[in-house]
């Protein structure tokens, strides 16, 4: 073997080793799906189809009729090519914010609605996602669940670009629906209310405005509140009915005990109670 052949052989071996270190090419996007997650492998992201989307119906979501009506109206406008707003759902835990978005998908998938779930740490990839779907005929909701930011997070800047647009015109087939337990999405501190600070930024009001301006970029902003006892019991009765169980005095007493141990009355707790109670009864039978 002469020196040239030896060099070529070494080069081929080196290329083979390098190929094993490179990330695999992204798989083709399954556009037949109705929901996707944005997943990252190393530094590369791709749309991964959700094979079994969570099946929630609008009728399953109780005691948020005003919020439900507004979100449904906005979504129908979006699907019909009419002006529609990005949506921010804030408020108490377990009151149906996330379930409402999932129920929209189940209700309007046959009309072209699609859902892409994006985690907070991946928000910097939003411009890339927008480019992937820009020429698609479907209508896409970017779903950001339980969205909050810390002071040093940078993802909110990419979200601002999607909400407000940039030098490039915003895509007409994309809206952002976000849920959060924080009203303004970013932390607020006692120091924000101090008229004078000895150290730090001179124009403190500018910092406060920066924190609140992200939430203001959502055109439809709806608040959710904790349920009272009667509402909680009604929701628990609804979920028990889906398991074929009637809410009698024993079930009502068990439902009250269940939420006392959880410290909260919410739709989520009512659903968890119904599963627990139904499972116990079926186990005994």
Q: What is the Cα–Cα distance from 148 to 178, expressed in whole angstroms?
A: 10
Neighbours of 115 (CB within 10 A): 22
Whether 95 and 226 have beta carbons less than 8 Å apart is answered as yes
Q: What is the Cα–Cα distance from 78 to 140, expressed in whole angstroms?
A: 9
pLDDT score recorded for residue 211? 56
How far is CA 223 from its chain centroid? 16
What is each CA distance from 159 to 39, 50, 53, 281, in whole angstroms?
A: 17, 23, 25, 47
Q: 26: which DSSP letter?
A: P
Q: What is the Cα–Cα distance from 157 to 72, expressed in whole angstroms?
A: 28
pLDDT score recorded for residue 50? 97
**Residues in the chain, overall count:** 285
DSSP string, 80-139: TT-----EEEEESTTSSHHHHHHHHHHHHGGGTEEEEE--GGGGGGHHHHHHHHTT-SSE
Matching residue, tokens 């009419």: 82
Query: Mean pLDDT per segment of 10 residues, for the chain of length 285 residues?
Result: 72 71 71 96 88 94 96 98 96 94 97 96 92 96 90 76 76 94 69 54 58 81 94 97 96 96 91 96 90
Whether 105 and 91 have beta carbons less than 8 Å apart is answered as no
pLDDT score recorded for residue 12? 79
pLDDT score recorded for residue 188? 60
- Spatial neighbors of 45 by CB under 8 A, at least 6 apart, are 38, 39, 122, 125, 128, 129
Neighbours of 41 (CB within 10 A): 11
Beta-ladder partners of 115: 35, 141
The phi, psi pair for 231, rounded to 5°, reads: -65, -45
Q: What is the Cα–Cα distance from 117 to 120, expressed in whole angstroms?
A: 10
How far is CA 32 from its chain centroid? 21
pLDDT score recorded for residue 183? 73
Whether 139 and 112 have beta carbons less than 8 Å apart is answered as yes
pLDDT score recorded for residue 212? 64
Q: SS3 for 222? A: strand
- Spatial neighbors of 58 by CB under 8 A, at least 6 apart, are 68, 72, 100, 103, 104, 107
Dihedral angle at the C-alpha atoms of 68, 69, 72, 74, nearest 10 degrees? Answer: -120
């Amino acid at each position: 073997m002469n020196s040239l052949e030896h060099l070529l052989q070494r080069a081929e071996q080196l290329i083979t080793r390098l190929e094993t270190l490179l990330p695999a090419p992204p798989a083709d996007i399954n556009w037949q799906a109705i929901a996707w997650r944005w997943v990252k492998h190393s530094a590369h992201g791709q749309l991964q189809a959700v094979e079994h989307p969570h099946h929630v119906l609008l009728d399953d979501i109780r005691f948020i009729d005003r919020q439900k009506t507004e979100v449904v109206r906005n979504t129908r406008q979006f699907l019909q090519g009419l002006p529609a707003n990005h949506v921010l759902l804030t408020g108490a835990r377990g009151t149906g914010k996330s379930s409402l978005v999932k129920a929209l998908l189940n209700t309007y998938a046959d009309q072209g609605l699609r859902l892409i779930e994006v985690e907070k740490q991946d928000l910097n990839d939003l411009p890339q996602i927008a480019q992937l779907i820009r020429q698609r005929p479907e209508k896409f909701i970017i779903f950001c669940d339980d969205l909050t930011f810390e002071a040093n997070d940078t993802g909110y800047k990419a979200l601002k670009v999607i909400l407000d647009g940039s030098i490039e015109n915003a895509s007409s087939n994309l809206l952002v629906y976000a849920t959060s337990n924080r009203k303004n999405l970013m932390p607020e501190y006692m120091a924000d209310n101090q008229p004078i600070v000895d150290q730090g930024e001179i124009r403190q009001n500018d910092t406060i405005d920066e924190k609140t301006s992200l939430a203001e970029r959502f055109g439809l902003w709806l608040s959710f509140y904790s349920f009272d006892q009667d509402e909680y019991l009604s929701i628990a009765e609804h979920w028990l009915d889906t398991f074929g169980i009637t809410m009698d005095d024993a079930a009502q007493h068990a439902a009250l005990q269940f939420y006392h141990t959880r410290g909260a009355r919410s739709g989520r707790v009512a659903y968890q109670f119904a599963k627990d109670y139904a499972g116990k009864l079926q186990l005994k039978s």
